[in-house]
Amino acid sequence: MRKPPVKRVKRAVHTRPAKEQPSPETRPCSKKSGEGDTQAPAKPTNGAAAKAETEIRRIILGNYSIAAWYASPYPDEYKQSQELHICQRCLKYMRHRQSLESHCCSDPFPRGRRVYEDASSTLYEVDGKTHTLYCQNLCLLSKLFLDQKTIYYDIGGFLFYILLSKQQPTMAPAGGAYLEGAVEYTFVGYFSKEKSSVERNNLACILVLPPFRGQSYGQLLIELSYELTKIEGTTGGPEQPLSSQGFHSYRSYWRRAVVQALLGISPQAEGYLLHSCGRKQQASKSSSEQRIFSLSRLARLTGIRIEDVLFTLEDLGLLECWFGKHIVCIADETIRQVIAQRRINPVMRMDPSGLQVDDELAESSSDAKSDESSADASSDDDG
């Protein structure tokens, strides 16, 4: 009698799981070009693999090798190498280092009109209509680090404010920093704004490159956007909606600007919009000095839109309703307690003396302020 065949059972082979590779979003940026590239990023799976293979993963900009965070609509032929070499002077992109080394850039750098300068940084205003190609290259570069940026080519209606760091001169790499006398300029980031915004936006897009984050450059850009708004004699704010990170950055600035104005230490606070008030005390009397503000006056003092001022005062618990009007009438000691409890740093990153204003802009700003002063009574009723 034949024995039935024996069924062989295959044993499962357990292998050690491969060590997870860091994604391009989390990989650190190396300061020297070429460093930190020994470990390849994790490859995406399924249908995204083919697309990821044709996206740019890293850029070489000056002395920095920076991992890209998002896809950017560069021409397809430049995505094959997955690495771009970018000239700091004109932001032109190239596939090979040899191309960058042979790139003889004669474009002016820094370009545009200088509007701010301090000991470590400088800001230049560049018109998107005048420097079209440069601003298009800037938008393509910024899309590598911004998820929601959508405008790349229709940039004639925007102004771009380019932030450069100033350092001691070193040997400049190919396509690297520009030397002017004893100063070396390095591209750090920028913000842009519409030339004419119906919604009174003073900032449309903001970027600080990853190697320069955590050094208060983002705070400096936000402060400068509002200082330019105050110089123009208007109020404004960022384009909505804000990301979570953007909201926290702006809330931090709004808190600093509002408490500075309430304490009378704003850079532009001397001599206007501040006066003592003799608020009637019914329950108790206080000897502390007080100042009174309507929302409209506080908005003009800080350059912040009224709705953002209102949000900040409510956020800090400093808003009161008096005889049917929203006003701020608080003792200085109360404001200092709020600063301590919320751990607000009232010191601004910007140096007010570093602002460089054109005579024409200063004259128009003065006219706007005089017009607003004559209309104070009516605006107080609205505030």
CA distance 216 to 69: 21
User: Is the overall model pTM greater than 0.85, yes or no?
Assistant: no
CA distance 309 to 337: 19
Reported as a single tens digit per residue, the pLDDT across 256-276 is: 999 888 887 655 433 323 332
Reported as a single tens digit per residue, the pLDDT across 64-89 is: 999 999 999 999 888 887 899 999 88
Reported as a single tens digit per residue, the pLDDT across 172-213 is: 555 555 545 567 889 999 999 999 988 889 999 999 999 999
Q: What is the pLDDT of residue 192?
A: 95
Residue 135 tokens, joined:
């601003």
Give me the residue label for tokens 């060590």: 19
SS3 at position 93: strand
Buried residues in 221-235 as b, exposed as e (16+ CB within 10 A): bbbbbbbbbbbbbbb
Decide which of 22 and 320 is more confident.
320
Q: How does residue 5 score in pLDDT terms, banded at 50, 70 and 90?
A: low
Q: For the chain, how long is the longest CA-to-CA vector?
A: 116
Give the range among 89-93, 122-126, 179-183, 221-225 with minimum mean pLDDT.
179-183
Active site residue ranges: 239
Mean of pLDDT values over 138-159? 86
Q: How does residue 217 score in pLDDT terms, banded at 50, 70 and 90?
A: very high
Mean of pLDDT values over 347-371? 66
Mean of pLDDT values over 291-297? 73
Q: How does residue 374 score in pLDDT terms, banded at 50, 70 and 90?
A: very low
How far, in Å, are 140, 253, 369 from residue 216 at the CA level?
24, 12, 31
The single-letter DSSP state of residue 365 is H
Q: What is the pLDDT of residue 21?
A: 38
Of these ranges, 34-38, 211-215, 316-320, the one predicted with the greatest mean pLDDT is 211-215
CA distance 267 to 263: 11
Instruction: Let me know how many helices (H) and strands (E) the chain has, helices first.
Output: 10, 15
Q: What is the pLDDT of residue 326?
A: 61
